[in-house]
Amino acid sequence: MKKMLSQYAAYNLWANQRIIEVINNLSDEQTERHIESSFNGIQKTLLHLWDVESIWWQRLKLTETQVWQSDNYTGSLMELTNNLLAQSKQWKEWIDIATEAALEHEFIYRNSKKDQFKQPVYEMLMHLFNHQTYHRGQIVTLIRQVGEPNIPNTDLISFLRKK
C-alpha cells in the first residue's frame, strides 16, 4: 500500500509541476478569463486544487477549524502555484515517512457540509490523488480554450515510464 501511495504522491507532484510550467507562461488575461467549467477558469481551478490538498492536510492533522485558502486569497498566480506545489510536496514527504499503520489508521473528519465520516487514511489519499487528476484534466481543456497548444503529457503511465 505504501509503495503505491508514494508513487501516487510523486505522480501528483510531477503532474502539477508539468501543468504549472505551462500555466506560469500564460498571460494574466488567459489565466483569469472566465470560462464555463467547474470553477470557471484556470486560476479558480488551481485555487480549488490547492484548497483540496490543504483541507485534507488539515483534516489529517486534526485541525479543529480548517481554513479554505481560496476564501481570502489575494496573491499572484506565481504565489498560488508555488503554494500548490509546496502542499503537493508536503503530501509526498509525509507518505514517504508514514508507516503502514499510519496509512491504515482510521480518522474522523467532517466534510464541508459538517457531515462526519470515519475512514482509513489510505482511502482519503486515493480520493485526493484521483480528485487532483480529474481537475488537472479540466485545466488542460481550459488551457486549450485560451489558445495554448503546448500541453504536457501528465498521464500516470508517462510518469511511471520515466522512473
pLDDT band of residue 52 (cuts 50, 70, 90) is: very high
Confidence class for position 79, pLDDT limits 50, 70, 90: very high
114-145 pLDDT per residue, tens: 899 999 999 999 999 999 999 999 999 999 99
Indicate the SS3 state at residue 16: helix
Q: What backbone torsions phi and psi does residue 119 show, to the nearest 5 degrees?
A: -160, 165
pLDDT score of 122: 98
Residue 146 in this model has a pLDDT that exceeds 90: yes
Write out the three cell numbers for 141.
481543456
Looking at residue 98, which CATH number applies to its domain? Answer: 1.20.120.450
**Which pLDDT does position 93 carry in this prediction?**
98
| Residues 95-122 pLDDT 10s | 999 999 999 999 999 988 989 999 999 9
**d(Cα 80, Cα 51) in Å, to the nearest integer?**
11
User: In total, how many domains does the chain have?
Assistant: 1
Range of the domain at 15: 2-162
